[in-house]
Structure 1
Amino acid sequence: MGGYVTFGNGPKKVIALHGWFGDHTTFDAMRNALTPGAFTYALPAYRGYGLSKAITGEYSIREISADVIEIADKLGWPHFDLIGHSMGGMAVQRVLADAPERVRKIVAITPVPASGVPLPPDQELLFAGAANSPEARHAIIDFSTSNRQSRSWIDHMVSHSFECSTTEAFAAYFQAWSKTNFVDAIIGNKVPMLVIVGANDPSLNADMMKATYLNWYPNAILEVIENAGHYPMDETPVALATRIEKFLS
């Protein structure tokens, strides 16, 4: 089990999972828009990241799920809601597959599908190279926000991603989110699910969600957040937090 922080003391229990470039601080920009008296949020860091940077493992989606369930057990939460961004969107589905009776609702934010995301050779080379290359990380973030955000913000995202993760974990998690496929374990699950995409995310966009999430989950609904790309928790934090808590309430 890795490290985590909690925020709030409300009766609704929520576990929020970060993406490939994030850690337990991923949702910090949203805190002033959240309702700590109504919700208790647990924010884990995956092995090799953030509070868990010194913890090694196999760096797989299944391992993330097992660690999340162990955190829920430690907190004494028999049932909980899940939020997942990007790679974390894939991971929350694995938690659902592994502990379906415990998951109440899911919010998937610009999420990777349970089928993974096979990439063409040139893109796979770029993403694989990002483990050691600041330039590759910059290009990925800039592309995933449609070249609309400031260089200063992108530089911050890149530097933080190097500070908060090990090269080994970052490289391994790319293979995990791009090549893992467990659609058979989740297809047809009736969990209430809100799938959120940014209007300016060119890849994990509404069309992809309709072909995957909305096709697999009968109770999934899709919403598009304007003025956001792949990182709405940073680009439009108040709008995202408000929509999440409305759905979970």
Structure 2
Amino acid sequence: MAPAPGFDVVGEGEHTVIAVHGWFGSAGAWRPIVPHLDTTTFRYVFVNLRGYGDRRDETGEHTLDEAASDVLAVADTLSVDRFSLVGHSMGGTVIQRVLADAPDRVRALVGISPVPASGVPFDDESWALFSGAAADPEKRRAIIDLTTGNRLTGVWLDSMVRHSLENSDERAFADYLLAWAKTDFHTEIEGNPVPVKVIVGEHDPALGEATMRQTFTRWYPNCTVDVLTNCGHYAIDEAPVALATSVESFLRELP
């Protein structure tokens, strides 16, 4: 059996919500939103994927299958049978893989600028940028700047790059790009009736509303889309209060 991933727990509510970070993130990357969460109603579990955070030195294959298995291992460790899932960016495709593997255990999905289950198409120039980011901090910075609309302070961009470098293993970072960009399993989740909400920023050039309408809302019959204003790809940092409100308003309405 795979080792249980490292994770942080916030809250004591009956509704367990497992949150999966993005490519540049970690369990600690959720900190900006934590003060705004309802920790009486919900129990949030922020996981680190292999190669990230306190699992930075842990070996692995860094595939979606492995990541989903580790998320389920967290739920088993906490003796949680059913739970909701929140995933940012890369984490958005991991949570869909969990749904495909264990549909009876998932109450709902919330994707924050999520990668679709079909992966992401890249042109040659964009692929060179993204595939070079594992070894080049300047490319990481350029990606964060691009995906937030080239509109935010360099101080914040630098802090995001620093967090990424300090909380991810270079090989794992490179491997996960192939996992989330090049894996297509959408036929496994297409038509699933699970409640889904996708939350995107108006300034996200690739994983914004148009992409969600072409993927998530076509595949999930019970999917809604929320577009956050004055926000790009990193709503956790850019709009934490609005994000917490959007996530929890949806989760409270679940049967």
TM range (shorter): over 0.9
1:122 deviates by 1.1
* Structure 2 residue corresponding to 1:227, chosen from 225, 230, 241: 230
- Local SS of the residue matching 1:210: helix
1:39 deviates by 0.7
Distance 1:111 1:235 in 2: 16
Q: Indicate yes or no: 2:115 matched with 1:88.
A: no
Contact 1:18 1:88 in 2 (8 A): yes
Percent identity over paired residues: 49
Q: Indicate yes or no: 2:141 matched with 1:138.
A: yes
Contact 2:200 2:232 in 1 (8 A): yes
Which residue is equivalent to 1:50?
A: 53
Q: Indicate yes or no: 2:116 matched with 1:113.
A: yes
* Structure 2 residue corresponding to 1:104, chosen from 96, 104, 107: 107
Contact 2:56 2:169 in 1 (8 A): yes
What runs of 5+ residues in structure 1 fail to find an aligned partner?
Answer: none
Q: Indicate yes or no: 2:202 matched with 1:202.
A: no
> Following superposition of structure 1 onto structure 2, how do residues 148-167 of structure 1 map, counting pairs within 5 Å?
148-167=151-170
Contact 2:5 2:73 in 1 (8 A): no
* Structure 2 residue corresponding to 1:12, chosen from 15, 24, 43: 15
Which residue is equivalent to 1:189?
A: 192
What runs of 5+ residues in structure 2 fail to find an aligned partner?
Answer: none
- Local SS of the residue matching 1:27: helix
1:184 deviates by 1.2
1:212 deviates by 0.3
Distance 1:16 1:166 in 2: 20
* Structure 2 residue corresponding to 1:127, chosen from 127, 130, 153: 130
Contact 1:2 1:55 in 2 (8 A): no
TM-score normalised to the size of structure 2?
0.97
1:25 deviates by 1.1
Moved over 6 A (4+): none
Offset from partner CA, 1:135-187 (integer Å, 9 cap, x none): 10011000000011100000000011000011000000011110011011100
Q: Indicate yes or no: 2:215 matched with 1:218.
A: no
1:2 deviates by 1.8
1:209 deviates by 0.5
Distance 2:43 2:233 in 1: 25
